[in-house]
């Protein structure tokens, strides 16, 4: 056998040990349903566990946790409507104006709490991909 024939033969042989992937077509609704059921688990791993049982654990999930945009939106809405947040900021304004006296540590904690709330709001806005009035 000459070397060119041998080379052609090797091109057709599978050299890796992994089996070929199995494909299945799903409707958009079917895929969305399965993704919800899978939760943080990769969709392929979830389907494999349902087909073969939970004993199939040789592979670790590699996909990042799914993001629940609806839940993030609800949290942002609650943060915007919360009377507690408004009261916190009103208290900070009253302290700054001298109408309420607090010890230095308490003033610092209040200022830090207000800054934390603003950071949380900013992170929620960013996670949702929303634009604020400050965005250009």
pLDDT digits (tens, 9 = 90+) for 36-57: 888 888 988 888 888 887 664 5
Q: Which residue would you say has higher pLDDT here, 62 or 117?
A: 117
Q: What is the pLDDT of residues 65-101, one digit of tens each?
A: 677 888 888 888 888 788 888 888 889 899 989 898 8
Neighbouring CB atoms inside 10 A of 38's CB total 19
Sign of CA dihedral 105, 108, 114, 115: negative
pLDDT over 50 at 4, yes or no: no
Give dist(CA 127, CA 64) in Å, integer.
Answer: 14
Give CA 57 to chain center in angstroms: 23
Structure tokens at 103: 């010890």
Q: Which residue would you say has higher pLDDT here, 27 or 72?
A: 27
- Most confident of the following: 50-54, 58-62, 104-108: 104-108
Give dist(CA 88, CA 113) in Å, integer.
Answer: 8
Q: What pTM does this model have?
A: 0.46
> How many residues does this entry show for the chain?
136
Give dist(CA 62, CA 42) in Å, integer.
Answer: 7
Structure tokens at 31: 């895929």
């Amino acid at each position: 056998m000459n070397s060119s024939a041998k080379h052609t033969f090797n091109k057709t042989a599978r050299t890796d040990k992994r089996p070929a992937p199995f494909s299945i077509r799903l409707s958009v609704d079917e895929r969305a349903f399965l993704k919800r059921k899978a939760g943080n688990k990769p969709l392929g791993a979830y389907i494999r566990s349902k087909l073969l049982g939970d004993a199939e654990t040789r592979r670790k999930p590699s996909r990042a946790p799914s993001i629940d945009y609806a839940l993030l939106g609800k949290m942002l809405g609650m943060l915007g409507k919360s009377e507690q947040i408004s009261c916190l900021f009103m208290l900070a304004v009253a302290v700054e104006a001298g109408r309420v006296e607090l010890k230095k540590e308490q003033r610092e904690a209040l200022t830090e709490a207000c800054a934390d709330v603003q950071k949380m709001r900013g992170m929620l806005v960013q996670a949702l991909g929303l634009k604020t009035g400050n965005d250009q």
